[in-house]
Amino acid sequence: MSLSELSVIARYFTGIGAGRDDVRLGVGDDGAILRVPPGRELAVTVDTLVEGVHFLADVDPETLGHKSLAVSLSDLAAMGADPAWATLALTLPSPDEVWLQAFAQGFDGLARAHGVNLVGGDTTRGPLSITVQAQGLLPAGQGLRRSGASPGDLIYATGTLGDAALALLAQQGLYVGSGRLDGLVSRLERPMPRVAEGLALRGLATAAIDISDGLGADLGHICEASGAGAWIDMTRLPCSEAVRAYIAETGDWALPLSGGDDYELCFTLAPERQGELEALAQRLGTPFTWIGLVEAQPGVRCQSEDGSLGSPPAGYDHFGRHD
């Protein structure tokens, strides 16, 4: 007998993630029943990963399980939300038990690390794709948005930029440079969402977004939502040694600006609060790098080493670059 839809869900996706008292009813009914504490608002985000677009067919299922949840937790981080619950809609060509077990394990590991319970899902037959909806909790009225940046605010990025894009180039055989590429594959395949940073930036940052489509494109979203523009100092972009070596060798300075899948945060800050941010960087051990300024003039302007100003290259666009 072939594995039934129900047993796929029951066997691999029951008990995934952290246990939570606020899950009144989890996997196995028509839906889940969840309790939002008084004074909290609900943050909701959804992301789909499609084989051949977001990942290759031969990707390790354990890392895919991790990444499927990571991209949604990264969105919650950008809102300053405390991750709580997730649902998983999994479309599979066939129920491969080894694959499912590894996928569930990767999902479970990251879910437990962030206190997330998998509360429901749907398993269907079809070309491999994964849709995760993650839900988090926010003190009422305190969610970080894209729309709060004002001219004069400082622009920051967490961590380093372009590592995942460089790892992808290397995987595709398009780059075999002298830079150290070993550590980069995990940046592409197992991104760590900046959840602690997002929580700490609540009430401190004026606007925030996670960098999934490339810094230029995502900062552009902050600018549009805020009715403002931005100036970026390219020489300040935080890059790993490998990305610096790549830029030096190829002259492709745009990688940290347009490379997708970074899952770092880009945020804006009123200048008078720089001291608080420095204290936060100390406490979390996270590099926050000042990279530019919010300006009144719309658009994103990138200043190169020679002082010239240009537009950022296009970011990741499913119906643009990839058509």
Among positions 237-296, residues that touch a second copy (CB under 8 A) are: none
Among 18, 50, 185, 245, binds a second copy (CB under 8 A): 50
Site for a second copy contains 51 (CB under 8 A): yes
- Min separation Cβ 32 and a second copy, Å: 5
Residue 95 sits in the site that holds a second copy (CB under 8 A): yes
| Residue 209 binds to a second copy (criterion: CB under 8 A) | yes
Contact 192, 308 (CB under 8 A): no
Of 40-48, 102-110, 239-247, 252-260: span binding a second copy (CB under 8 A): 40-48
Query: Could you tell me which of 66, 69, 60 has the C-alpha nearest to residue 106?
Result: 66
Q: Minimal distance in Å, beta carbon 45 to a second copy?
A: 3
- Phi first, then psi: what are they for 136, rounded to 5°? -135, 170
Q: Which of 16, 70, 76, 247 binds a second copy (CB under 8 A)?
A: 76
Would you state the structure tokens that stand for residue 270, as one six-digit string?
Answer: 């009123």
Residues 284 and 70: their CA atoms lie apart, in Å, by 19
Query: In angstroms, what is the minimal distance from the CB of 212 to a second copy?
Result: 9
Query: What residues pair up with 92 in beta bridges, in sequence order?
Result: 125
Residues with Cβ within 8 Å of 136's Cβ and at least 6 positions away in sequence, in order, are 42, 43, 76, 79, 81, 82, 83, 84
Output the six-digit token pair for 148.
Answer: 């709060």
Q: Is 98 one of the binding residues for a second copy (CB under 8 A)?
A: no
Nearer to a second copy, 38 or 307 (CB): 38
Q: Which residue from 239, 80, 257, 214 is spatially nearest to 159, judged by alpha carbons?
A: 239
Q: Is 31 in the site for a second copy (CB under 8 A)?
A: yes
Among positions 131-170, residues that touch a second copy (CB under 8 A) are 131, 133, 135, 138, 140-141, 143, 145-147
Under the binding rule (CB under 8 A), the answer on residue 223 touching a second copy is no
